Amino acid sequence: MPAMPPLPANDQLLDYVTSCALPTPWAQFTLHAFVEHSTGKEHLAMVLGDVKDGEPVLARVHSECLTGDVLFSQRCDCGAQLEGALQRIAEEGRGVLLYLRQEGRGIGLLNKIRAYRLQEAGADTVEANLQLGFHADARNYELCQPMLAHFGVRSLRLMTNNPRKIAALTRLGIDVADRVPLLVNRNAFNNSYLDTKQAKLGHMMTPATVAEPGAT
């Protein structure tokens, strides 16, 4: 099958700034920094290996979750998904992780903490966002297009359990050649959160979709 040509980048949305080496416990990635024009937010990409050859690239589009990614929160599964994705990319020696600064499914850190507070009073994660006047999921993936185009990436093997993310990327003209399920880290604190993501946001988390570590 002929390799897909790279998409032209939509440079209206963000600028490429710079890059550096980023050693991690799993591999030495290259960290690339972008800045979004409309918000001034800094978005990041971690890249490993040669991703410009036109073949589908193992990829994760990860939205920032400060509590889960940095503070070890067990209220969600973000930290485990981030770690699992970087580990899988390192195992293959090739891949891209986009780190988008859209905290709390797009509502921001303070509102996420407000939503957690509402959840402690009985709301689920979707109801809490709605009570605060937000959509259930306010994330926007349009930045993925210029970021991936910058690296010459057109086609993904996307690590996700979220069919809405696949649909959003496809609408942007990004080819999702395959979905690679991510292991879900269930615990006593995130059990009902994960059930809500499955029931109300369509996430695919049945055991049948869970990959064995190292499977392709």
137 is catalytic: yes
Determine which residue in the list 49, 68, 84, 146 makes contact with Zn ion, applying CB under 5 A: 68
Q: Give the DSSP H/E element, type plus range, for residue 30.
A: strand 28-36
- The DSSP-derived string for 44-95 is EEEEES---SSS-EEEEEEE--IIIIIS--SSSSHHHHHHHHHHHHHHHT-E
> Site size for Zn ion, by CB under 5 A?
4
Which span (76-84, 132-140, 151-159, 164-172) binds Zn ion, by CB under 5 A? Answer: 76-84
> Is residue 100 at the binding interface for Zn ion, with CB under 5 A as the rule?
no
In angstroms, the first-to-last Cα distance of the chain is 20
Which span (6-14, 60-68, 115-123, 155-163) binds Zn ion, by CB under 5 A? Answer: 60-68
76 is in an annotated binding site: yes
> Is residue 84 at the binding interface for Zn ion, with CB under 5 A as the rule?
no
Cβ density class 147-177: b for 16+ within 10 Å, e for less: bbbbbbbbbbbbbbbbeebbebbeeeebebe
41 is in an annotated binding site: no
The active-site residue out of 77, 88, 124, 139 is 139
> Is residue 78 at the binding interface for Zn ion, with CB under 5 A as the rule?
yes
Residues found near Zn ion in the complex (CB under 5 A):
65, 68, 76, 78
Q: Which residues have a catalytic role annotated?
A: 137, 139
